[in-house]
Amino acid sequence: MRVLICVTKLRDEEKMIISQLNQKNIEVKVILDSMSLPLEEIFQGRFNLAIIRCLSQLEGKKRARILESAGLRTMNNSKAINICTDKILQAVMFQ
């Protein structure tokens, strides 16, 4: 299994996630916000999951949409990010 993690910077939380995945023999590729997504690898189906951990909600949503459109399952998907960034939508959903 291969996991793609999109981050702004590697914080302790992300390092712990990577460590736990590596202990389970899961290969992890880290992509910083400043780096381009590895589109060729993504469209060739080389990843099983993408974890979106960008600090910028806009960057996270953008990357999630790109990855989802390529057919890659994402944790913190664009729909979840959209709900988290829209207080009116939250008020309606959680009423």
The CATH number for 2-93, chosen from 2.60.40.1840, 3.30.9.80, 3.30.930.10, 3.40.50.20, is 3.40.50.20
Residue from 66, 61, 34 nearest 47 by CA: 66
The mean pLDDT value for 2-22 works out to 97
- Chain segment 25-78, per-residue pLDDT in tens: 999 999 999 999 999 999 999 999 999 999 999 999 999 999 999 999 999 999
Per domain, the residue ranges of the chain are 2-93
Helix and strand totals (H; E) in the chain:
5, 4
- Stretch 19-24: mean pLDDT: 98
